Amino acid sequence: MGYPNEGFETRPSVMKLTLLVLANALALIAAPAGNPLLEKQPRIPFDRIRAEHVVPAVTYLLDEAQKKRDAYVANSAPRTFENTLAALEAITEDLDRATGFVNYINNVSTTPELRKAIDQTLPETSAFHSSMALDSGIYSKVREYSQTPEAKALTGARKRLLEVTLKRFRRSGVELSDANKMRLKAISVELARLSKKFADNVLDSTNAFEIVIRDEAKLAGLPESARSAARQSAKQKGIDGWRFSLQEPSYLAVSRFMDDAATREKMYRAYSTRATTGERDNRPLLARILELRRERAKLLGYKNYADLQTEERMAKSGENVRTFLGTLEQKTRGAFDAENKDLAAFRKSLEGPNAPPLAPWDITYYSEKMRKARYDLDEEALKPYFPLPSVLNGMFGLVEKLYGVKIKKIEGVALADPQVQYFEIRDTDGTLLGSFYADLFPREEKRGGAWANPLIVGGAEADGFKPHLGTINGNLTPPVGALPALLTKRDVETVFHEFGHLMSFVLLNVPVRGLSGVAWDFVELPSQIMENFTWNRECLDLFARHYQSGERIPEELYRKMMLARTYRSANSQMRQLSLGTVDLHLHTDYQGAEKDGDALDYARKILLRFSPTDLPADYAMIAGFSHIFAGGYAAGYYSYKWAEVLDADAFTRFEKEGIFSRNVGDEFRRKVLEKGNAEDPGDLFRDFMGRDPDPDALLRRNGLLPKK
């Protein structure tokens, strides 16, 4: 805070009084009374946190963190684990907790005021975290400790924490010149601002689009559930007719079922060009983000950003990722081409030999028709068996069988929205392991997609076990009228996937919080392995019951579902490979517009190689690719496929030893879920499976190789 020199009296008594008044005023600012963001509560006080709390709380916590940091560096006592590594974690604990709460609220209940407050504090918090990683004073304390007899005698998790901490400092640039450190700090601040703006633009662009249909005849092909949802959406907006948006349930229903190709095309073009115009144009942002990442990698001595990101992961290098993705592409290509020829022939069988070539907005539509014709399977026929309350109860029942935990819904808790639910997870002995919010329906003020978040990292402490706090989030089709939310099979897999992430967090049991993270290409194993259970008959019988009759899925319908499991699996795989490949190329080969042309054009050419049809000239998917430009998946999107290989292989133990085997469940919990980053992820997998991963496990599961 700055003040002009004019107007100050210079007499000692007046100056002393003035300084005393200023000191008292600053003290009030430094300790904002009644600010809920400063309270160490076990959950988020949604009912009390407001946008005006953000700046005072973050300002105060930054100041407190700086004091802890100064004291840390000034501490000349002999180095120990507690005053070095444990104390280092404590510097930002309160700040991270508060900003984590704020960022989560912004993701699920954003407002213009909250965005403004975050924008105001983001540069300072980003700069602080960046400067921490570049602080030679802190680094010297850690290095000094590493040379002590105590450090040299460390074993297990404490030894790994020391090794990881030293690597993190070096990889952050702490050993660079002061000028390069300053540049790295500036890059971090700018990247944080650009990433947030990128995400805001995607959300705003998504919400800005709608199609309202007033002629019911144009709804031909849409199932009744989609019509009812569109009617409800229109009513909520005060509109007469049926309203369709780019939110996932609405967009997918149109893409999959609507006969009117013009509407499908309009939706497709709007979705694939999100955030490319006006104030919401992400094109200059993504170009700048890529430029800054290239510069960061170069400053740190890496060939490219992918090498920087993957060095501490299972992949180890960008070239290894390239080989992994390329091998999968090569093994999938033949089936991919055959599937697409098959679909084109199917359309001609319906419309005659002069039927036009398939357009991008035709693929999902005709794929659904062919699935129904080939397997007599209507995806809508499965939805009545997947009411969300039953899916959640069955999923909870599954993990209770596997891991011995108990999950209970808790009422009377402040929530982001009335449809959000809050649960506790307790261990077999009654210990509260953690709690979580389940926020599963779309809202305009909520970001799209599905994700899981850790909010409070708990663990064993001197005064007992401190519970974790997390979330699972989605954008599923909400209840319509008296009907419960009826999910598609893919929705069920999504819920199980995100809950797998949550379980790996809530079951985390490492002795030091600094090892609570998981290697990025291993982090999807706990989530993706959960999807496998949704195909197993015994597991389905826990929850797949008709919402009216309570009957389980008929055997004939289940048989059709299983026969169709690998339907167009090569296309599904190539879609994921396309995203991983374009992400990799943007962070390895792409060198900017002057050398390689516009990033959107560059990306489109890569994506075209994996597309079943040509792509429009204005195709701009990456302008809405928040995973890599506003999330943690930059140069890491390959991890979905990497982890799929692991989960396809690891699930074979459940299949062989019993789908509800408590022995296998306990081993997976102890050897994988509880470990976090306490051990090398490759070692964790080998400890659970007794061998290295089978690289062909995924291809066999997808029907692209014969089963053993």
Three-state DSSP at 465 gives strand
Q: Are 35 and 48 within 8 A, CB to CB?
A: no
The contacts of residue 123 (CB under 8 Å, 6+ apart) are 189, 192, 193
What are the distances in angstroms from CA 428 to CA 405, 414, 432? 6, 27, 10
Question: Can you give the length of the chain in residues?
Answer: 708
Q: Are 403 and 666 within 8 A, CB to CB?
A: yes
- Enumerate the H helices of 258-387 as residue ranges: 261-272, 283-299, 305-310, 318-351, 363-375, 379-382
The contacts of residue 285 (CB under 8 Å, 6+ apart) are 194, 197, 198, 201, 629
Q: State the Cα–Cα distance between residues 517 and 505, nearest whole angstrom.
A: 9
Q: State the Cα–Cα distance between residues 471 and 186, nearest whole angstrom.
A: 32
Evaluated on CA atoms 228, 233, 239, 243, the torsion sign reads negative
| DSSP H or E segment with residue 434 | strand 432-439
What are the distances in angstroms from CA 430 to CA 400, 405, 408, 434, 589? 13, 9, 12, 11, 53
Q: In the numeric block, which tokens belong to residue 612? A: 């079943």
Q: In the numeric block, which tokens belong to residue 90? A: 């404590």
The single residue of 329, 498, 524, 644 carrying the catalytic annotation is: 498
Please confirm, yes or no, whether 498 is among the known catalytic residues: yes
Q: Which letter, b or e, does each residue of 153-171 get, where b requires 16 or more Cβ atoms within 10 Å of its Cβ?
A: ebeebbebbbebbbeebee
Annotate 366-417 with DSSP letters as a single string.
HHHHHHHHHH---HHHHGGG-BHHHHHHHHHHHHHHHH--EEEE--S---SS
Instruction: Write the DSSP symbol of residue 487.
Output: P
Give me the long-range contacts of 2-11 (CB less than 8 A, separation at least 24). Answer: none
73 burial level (CB within 10 Å; 0-12, 13-18, 19+): middle
CB atoms within 10 A of CB 191: 19
Give the residue among 181, 64, 70, 85 at the shortest CA–CA distance from 141: 85
Q: In the numeric block, which tokens belong to residue 192? A: 């944080």
Give the residue among 702, 645, 695 at the shortest CA–CA distance from 335: 702
What are the distances in angstroms from CA 342 to CA 70, 368, 373, 578? 67, 13, 13, 21
Q: State the Cα–Cα distance between residues 505 and 522, nearest whole angstrom.
A: 13
Q: Please name every residue paired with 424 in a beta bridge, in sequence order, or none if there are none.
A: 408, 435
Q: In the numeric block, which tokens belong to residue 290? A: 């890529």
How crowded is the C-beta side of 118, counted as CA atoms within 13 Å?
A: 24
Q: Strand 210-213 vs strand 451-456: parallel, antiparallel, or unpaired?
A: unpaired
Residues involved in catalysis: 498
